[in-house]
Amino acid sequence: MDSECRKLAFIFIFGVSFFYASFAEKAPHFSFVKPATLAPAVSYFDYIVVGGGTAGCSLAATLSDGATVLLLERGGVPYGNKNVEDIGSFGANLANVSPSSPSQGFVSEDGVLNARARVLGGGSAINAGFYTRAPPEFVAKVGWDYGLVNQSYAWVERKVAFEPPMLQFQTAVKDGLLQAGVQPYNGFTYDHIHGTKFGGTIFDNNGHRHTAADLLEYADPRRATVYLYAVAQKILFSRRELGKPRAYGVIFKDSVGIVHKAFLRPGAANEVILSAGALGSPQLLMLSGVGPATELMLHGIEVVLDQPQVGQGMADNPMNLLFIPSPISVETSLIQAVGITEFGSFIEAASGSSNVRAFMQNLPSAAQMLTSQASQSSDGPNVITTQGDLDTAIEYMHSLLNGTINSGCILEKIAGPRSSGYLHLATVDPNDNPAVRFNYFQDPDDLQRCVMGMETIIKVIESEPFSKFRVPGMTTQALINIVVNFPLNLRPRHFSTALSLEQFCIDTVLSIWHYHGGCQVNKVVDKDYKVLGTVGLRVIDGSTFYDSPGTNPQATVMMLGRYMGQRILAQRR
């Protein structure tokens, strides 16, 4: 009897697998992905997902298993774009500021340069590729089901996660971390564990990037529709259920400005779901009339729901770094080795001139700003070092910009963080970036952890395993001077910037593109990610987070799309 049951079970599983495999489509050859110019004027779906990023792709693919799904993405596809797909072009991808670029730059009100994705696959198409799961305490804190979380991570990893090659520079960083006391060594793992490890990557062994768009290989092409260059203008609401506004559709424009409307099919389970990211989701809620009433009225937006918490709790993990010119050649690598410290700072590294330049972010204006700094007198506000140190720094930076020097960088990112700010509308045009302030180091604990992280980086650089990548005679202070005198951000420099690690952290802070918040749980959405005070509307992406999970959030955001997609379908069924 048991044998017969096992046989029937095998036949059933094989049959189901064969059935779905017969309809699955492989990236990049998706028949259901098309430009929004081909969209009808009016269409109907069970679910409308706004934002084809790290959460949106996995969410839409999952929902298509049991319902019709429309996924709206404001950018194009990542496929066939060398800057996106090639690990060596990471810097060129971020530096591309054209209107069609996958990366849309912005500057926060803190004076820190940043970027948001504008491409199918979202941040996974423009980031440094590090793949790591959230720590168990994060999962427990948000109240997710461990079993379903692990299944959802595994689902993602079958398509986009790889073990990186452990080459010389990254190995030296690993050994330096261990000598600096970031113990124990945990080897290669996707898990977030205190100590030093090699994490996963979304770049395969050929240096080819795999993005969240690849997760659409799981989608049922008969039920899924993806429109590209589709910019959502607003969510449509009616007031039909217990006085609460009910989302029933989305207005979007295609690349030539034609307006289209997508409506939900009749049915209580059908929903609009925002997965537009920490900037896009709160922005679209506000443009649709859900947000702080005073601000909405200021912009002439009809108030659907006064929700003052929309756009609040915006946080960005501050990053600080040191550049290291190398006397020997270095491999092209992005984040692989990582030190997860007990005090809440993560130490990571990248190498290769192109990738190091990517962390500078503002290359087009760097040389001009650098020249301006160099022309100041020795007692000017931005000249922190001696003229000799400044000349050395300028020579190094010009060599780095011209790609004529071997180099790496070691950076630290603050966990959390505890400091937070807010987002508000700059204009009512959804193509424009909203204004955002992150209030870096507002909490003194963040600043203390940055100092401890920089002290750890210095120990790694001065360690014996890392010595072969150090230029003889170049001191750690000289490396600090390089960063101090490079125009990495728009923040002022002080006389003490090169002498005080506290001031160094404040003045030279960068973004590592892990910003989150704006639609947080129990403030804007409930624990099922339904927007409070509305019906038929959810937000499922990093805007719901209070903390950035692990050393990189992308694995968890992709997992979240799968996780919630399964839960939504289970409730539907």
Tell me the catalytic residues.
514
Beta bridge partners of 346: 340, 413
The type of residue at 164 is: P
Q: How far apart are CA 287 and CA 235, in angstroms?
A: 8
299-305-309 Cα angle (round to 5): 80
CA distances in angstroms from 214 to 136, 403, 467, listed in the order given: 26, 32, 40
User: What's the length of the chain?
Assistant: 573
Sign of the Cα torsion 213, 214, 215, 220 reads positive
Asked if residues 324 and 470 have their Cβ atoms less than 8 Å apart, the reply is yes
User: 183: which 2 tokens?
Assistant: 């113990």
| Distance separating alpha carbons of residues 558 and 67, to the nearest angstrom | 20
The reply to whether 364 sits in an annotated binding site is: no
571 is in an annotated binding site: no
Is 553 annotated in a binding site? The answer is yes
Give SS3 for 357.
helix
Please give the structure tokens belonging to residue 527.
């624990």
Structure-token match 């564990």, residue found: 193
What DSSP designation does 469 have?
Answer: G
Would the annotation count 302 as a binding residue? no
Name the DSSP class of 218: G
The stretches of 462-540 forming alpha helices (DSSP H) are 476-484, 501-507
Going through 103-193 in order, the beta strands assigned E by DSSP cover 103-107, 113-117, 130-131, 185-188
- Do 227 and 35 form a contact (C-beta atoms < 8 A)? yes
Residue whose structure tokens are 């959804």: 430
- As a whole number of Å, the end-to-end CA separation of the chain is 31
- 32: CB partners within 8 A, 6+ apart: 25, 219, 221, 224, 225, 226
Location of structure tokens 């000289």: 478
Neighbours of 167 (CB within 10 A): 14
442 annotated among ligand-binding-site residues: no
Farthest-apart Cα atoms in the chain, separation: 90
| Continuous segment of H or E residues that includes residue 323 | strand 318-325
74 assigned to a ligand binding site: yes
Q: How far apart are CA 365 and CA 290, in angstroms?
A: 38
Structure tokens at 203: 């770049």
* Residue 136 to residue 548: CA distance in whole angstroms: 13
Tokens encoding 509: 């802070």
Annotated binding site for FAD: 73-74, 119, 513-514, 542, 553-554
